[in-house]
Amino acid sequence: MIARAVPCAAALALCACSSAVTPEKMARIKPAMTPAYVEAILGRPAYIEHSQSETTPVTGEVDYYPGVNGQGRVIFFNNTVFKAEFVPGAKS
C-alpha cells in the first residue's frame, strides 16, 4: 500500500507544477476568447475579481493565475478576453 502511495504523490506533485502559468501559456490567450476557452488552456484561475458598471450593462473581471516566476492576469469585458498578460515577479 505504501509503495503505491509514493508514486501517486510524486505524480500529483508533477501535475501541480505543470499547471502553473508560464509566459508561453499566456501568449496563447488572445482577445475575444471566451472564459471557457481560456480555462481549457490555463485551467481554473486561483481567484477572480468581478466588477459591474452601475450605469451601463458593462461587466468585467480579472482572473489571476499563479506561476513559478510571476502571475498571469486575464482581463475580461462582457465575457470575452480584453487583455492577457504575464507579470514577472508578481505574487498571487
Query: Over the stretch 13-72, which tens digit does the pLDDT of each residue have?
Result: 434 444 689 999 999 999 999 999 999 999 999 999 998 888 888 889 999 999 989 999
pLDDT band at residue 11 using 50, 70 and 90 as cut-offs = very low
pLDDT at 19: 65
* pLDDT exceeds cutoff 90 at 10: no
Query: What 3 state SS string does the chain have?
Result: CHHHHHHHHHHHHHHHHHCCCCHHHHHCCCCCCCHHHHHHHHCCCCEEEEEECCCCCCEEEEEEEECCCEEEEEEEECCEEEEEEEEECCCC
All structural domains of the chain: 21-88 (3.30.1450.10)
pLDDT band at residue 92 using 50, 70 and 90 as cut-offs = low
